[in-house]
């Protein structure tokens, strides 16, 4: 059984979890402390300390750089999901880089505004220290004051995806692509705290997000057989 080692509110972990759910395969999740990467360090033989990683028997899979998508490609190949079709190579890289730069940024900041609601008390000091060392002292309070600005930025950055979804059921084609799961994961982080909704003006995106949240590969296969 595949094991997903994660932080539950990480956008990149949410991407891989949704792909595994979509596949229909049995898997388990292991949540780790934000500041305790010992399990990841050990499993990757001291080559990696980020999340997510997956363990599949003796095989441990992790990313090789910021844009590698090694984990998603491993799941895709194992379960033959066709999430990286050859005809869209190149275009998909442009799209997922935009998603992971322009959508992930405001989404994780808006979620982090409410960090005390989902970070266990025993982990809060380490979480605060980690964030302030990476983004500067007082970053969490700063993002709280920028909430309206961040929501506006996100709504503007989502316009291209609303346009795509006005023409087809998924972002790039009639079936889901990896970039659909990638965007879903970023937005799932925004929604994690329960304080936000997707911009209501993006009606196609809202419908897509609801559909993506429960989508199963078996349903897509049935649609192909019985269009």
pLDDT of 222 above 80: no
Average pLDDT, the chain: 95
Residue at token pair 């964030």: 131
Give me the pLDDT at residue 113, please: 97
Delimit the domains of the chain by residue range.
2-79, 86-225
pLDDT of 226 above 70: no
CA angle 26, 29, 35 (to 5 degrees): 165
Cα separation of 192 and 73, whole Å? 25
pLDDT band at 35 (very low <50, low <70, confident <90, very high): confident
pLDDT band at 219 (very low <50, low <70, confident <90, very high): confident
Torsional class of 21: left (φ above 0), alpha (ψ -120 to 50), beta (otherwise): alpha
Give me the pLDDT at residue 186, please: 98
Q: In CATH, what number does 2-79 get?
A: 3.40.30.10
* SS3 of the chain: CEEEEECCCCHHHHHHHHHHHHHCCCEEEEECCCCCCHHHHHHCCCCCCCCCEEEECCEEECCCCCCCCHHHHHHHHHHCCCCCCHHHCCHHHHHHHHHHHHHHHHHHHHHHCCHHHHCCHHHHHHHHHHHHHHHCCCHHHHHHHCHHHHHHHHHHHCHHHHHHHCCCCCCCCCCCCHHHHHHHHHHHHHHHCCCCCCCCCCHHHHHHHHHHCCCCHHHHHHHHHCC
pLDDT band at 176 (very low <50, low <70, confident <90, very high): very high
Nearest to 9 by CA among 102, 100, 112, 78: 112
Give me the pLDDT at residue 57, please: 96
Give me the pLDDT at residue 66, please: 87
**What average pLDDT does range 151-180 have in this prediction?**
98
Which of 3-7, 30-34, 73-77, 147-151 shows the lowest per-residue confidence on average (mean pLDDT)? 30-34
pLDDT in tens, 102-119: 999 999 999 999 999 999
The structure's pTM equals 0.95
Q: In CATH, what number does 86-225 get?
A: 1.20.1050.10
Structure tokens at 131: 């964030």
Give me the pLDDT at residue 227, please: 61
Give me the pLDDT at residue 36, please: 87
pLDDT in tens, 50-100: 999 999 999 999 999 988 999 999 999 999 999 999 999 999 999 999 999
Cα separation of 227 and 221, whole Å? 10
């Amino acid at each position: 059984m595949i094991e997903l080692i994660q932080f539950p509110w990480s956008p990149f972990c949410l991407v891989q979890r949704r792909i595994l759910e979509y596949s229909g395969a049995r898997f388990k999740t292991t949540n780790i402390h934000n500041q305790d990467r010992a399990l990841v360090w050990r499993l990757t033989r001291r080559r990696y300390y980020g999340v997510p990683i997956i363990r599949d028997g003796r095989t441990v899979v992790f990313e090789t750089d910021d844009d590698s998508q090694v984990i998603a490609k491993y799941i895709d190949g194992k379960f033959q999901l066709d999430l990286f079709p050859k005809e869209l190579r190149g275009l998909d890289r442009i799209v997922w880089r935009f998603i992971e730069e322009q959508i992930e940024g405001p989404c994780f900041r808006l979620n982090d505004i409410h960090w005390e609601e989902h970070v266990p008390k025993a982990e809060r000091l380490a979480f605060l220290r980690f964030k302030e060392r990476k983004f500067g002292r007082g970053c969490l309070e700063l993002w709280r004051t920028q909430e309206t600005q961040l929501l506006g930025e996100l709504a503007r950055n989502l316009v291209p995806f609303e346009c795509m979804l006005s023409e087809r059921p998924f972002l790039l084609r009639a079936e889901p692509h990896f970039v659909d799961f990638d965007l879903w994961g970023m937005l799932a982080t925004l929604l994690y705290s329960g304080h936000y909704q997707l911009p209501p003006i993006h009606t196609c995106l809202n419908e897509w997000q609801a559909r993506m949240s429960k989508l199963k590969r078996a349903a897509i296969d049935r649609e192909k057989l019985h269009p």
